Amino acid sequence: MHVPDGFIDLPVSAVTGVVAAGAVAVSLRGARRELAAMNPGTDLGADRTAPLAGLVAAFIFAVQMLNFPVAAGTSGHLLGGALAAILVGPYTGIVCMSVVLLLQSVLFADGGLSALGVNITVMGGVTVVVAYALFRGLLRVLPRRRSSVTAASFVAALVSVPAAAVAFTLIYAIGGTTDVPVGTVLTAMVGVHVLIGLGEALITAATVGAVLAVRPDLVYGARGLSAPLKLRVGGELVDAAPAPATAPPAASPRPVWIAGLVTSLVLAGFVSFYASANPDGLEKVAADKGIDRNVEEHAAADSPLADYGIKDVENVRLSGGLAGVIGVGATAAVGSGLVWAVKRRRQGGAQDGDAQAQSGAAQKESV
């Protein structure tokens, strides 16, 4: 659903750019709280979430290269907002999605530069907010077990994709550069993206379920999932005392990180060659309904990595595979680096606060 330049006029693109920038700024602040949410009162959550955020961004980049057929002449691919929100939290999820969309636009000419705000708003913001709100709502009514997390992930991901299609249609209604009736666009966009949503739901549920099976403590959306331990005292069941907040994690997340990175590299470097070559949902609707009449050439069309290939490498499989590997590496590096910077800033702020508190206490004692 990457929107190219020319679909939306410049004033509306500029407004969505401001909205996207604001969303990213708010998300960076919110991500600081999410970094420690896995272990309240300690910094263990930050140590685990920071590298995993980069991994999630890299995995989403890789899976987005795997277009799957959804209808005659149409394909779809993962958007990833629901997956990111459930694995690392909604604020960190928006940061991850923004990194993916930025690198895709700048390095691979996928998604217009002037439309970057539209893409971050629709594919990053709307999918994350809708998916995570629905996910949390479902967990309130479903039984407290891992299968409920997987089921809620499926539904949340399924709904998030047509929600993004509706959001794009609303933006098109305000700033579209063609005169195609909004009702026509809405019907076509929602229809095809409901089918794409099924693929999104399957990928999201499978990924979340796989992580839950090996390391449920690394899934942000599964926090507080387990019911408190019960002890029988005097013939009655009472809640056992919770474990200390400072208890270290059961195991290092490094094996999960390595396995996820290797999987991402294989998907982008090898499996992507077998992806469907059919246009995705937005491209198909745009071509069929005439939305693409004013499409503009991407400013980075001459990039060495444009269209997910290496310039001057004639072997198509090698060219696409190398581009995919570079993309995974760049996304993991930028995503991890950004989240680590957020973590360091959070730690610096906490240290400054402690220093000020100690200074104040010393002044009181001297008085």
Q: What per-residue confidence (pLDDT) applies to 137?
A: 96
pLDDT at 136 over 70: yes
Residue 307 forms part of a structural domain: yes
Q: What per-residue confidence (pLDDT) applies to 42?
A: 47
Mean pLDDT computed over every residue of the chain? 87
Residue 203 forms part of a structural domain: yes
**Which of the given ranges, 195-199, 251-255, 362-366, has the highest pLDDT on average?**
195-199
At residue 47 the predicted structure's pLDDT band, cuts being 50, 70 and 90, is low
The two three-digit tokens of residue 91, written as one number: 């604020």
Q: What per-residue confidence (pLDDT) applies to 144?
A: 86
pLDDT at 100 over 70: yes
CB atoms within 10 A of CB 96: 36
Q: What per-residue confidence (pLDDT) applies to 341?
A: 81
Rounded CA Rg of the chain: 22
- Find the CATH number of the domain harbouring 35: 1.10.1760.20
pLDDT at 305 over 60: yes
- 229 φ/ψ angles, rounded to the nearest 5 degrees: -65, 135
Q: What per-residue confidence (pLDDT) applies to 355?
A: 46
> Which pairs with CB-CB distance under 8 Å and at least 24 residues apart come from 149-152?
149/86, 149/208, 149/212, 149/219, 149/221, 149/222, 149/225, 150/205, 150/208, 150/209, 150/212, 151/205, 152/221
User: Alpha helix locations (H) across the chain?
Assistant: 10-35, 44-64, 81-88, 90-108, 116-119, 127-141, 146-175, 182-214, 254-269, 281-289, 316-366
Q: Total domain count for the chain?
A: 1
Q: What per-residue confidence (pLDDT) applies to 71?
A: 83
At residue 363 the predicted structure's pLDDT band, cuts being 50, 70 and 90, is low
Q: What per-residue confidence (pLDDT) applies to 120?
A: 98
Residue 238 forms part of a structural domain: no
More confident call, 250 vs 66? 66
Label residues 277-305 b or e (16+ Cβ within 10 Å = b): ebbbbbbbbbeebebbeebeebebeeeeb
Residue 341 forms part of a structural domain: yes
Residue 214 forms part of a structural domain: yes
Q: Give pLDDT tens digits for 22-32.
A: 999 999 989 88
- What is the rounded CA–CA span in Å between residue 120 and residue 127? 10
Q: Are 97 and 60 in contact (CB under 8 A)?
A: yes
341: number of CA atoms within 13 Å, CB side? Answer: 8
- What is the rounded CA–CA span in Å between residue 113 and residue 353? 40
pLDDT at 85 over 90: yes
Q: Give pLDDT tens digits for 154-166.
A: 999 999 999 999 9
Q: Are 207 and 221 in contact (CB under 8 A)?
A: no
Q: Is the pTM of this model over 0.75?
A: yes
Residue 235 forms part of a structural domain: no
At residue 52 the predicted structure's pLDDT band, cuts being 50, 70 and 90, is confident
Q: Are 47 and 337 in contact (CB under 8 A)?
A: no
Q: Give pLDDT tens digits for 193-247.
A: 999 999 999 999 999 999 999 989 889 999 877 555 455 666 665 555 554 544 4
- State which amino acid sits at residue 329: G
At residue 10 the predicted structure's pLDDT band, cuts being 50, 70 and 90, is very high
Q: What per-residue confidence (pLDDT) applies to 255?
A: 87
Length of the chain counted residue by residue: 367
Q: What per-residue confidence (pLDDT) applies to 48?
A: 57
Residue 68 forms part of a structural domain: yes
Average pLDDT value for residue range 165-188: 96
Average pLDDT value for residue range 171-196: 96
Q: What per-residue confidence (pLDDT) applies to 358?
A: 52
Provide the domain limits for residue 188. 10-226+263-353
Residue 233 forms part of a structural domain: no
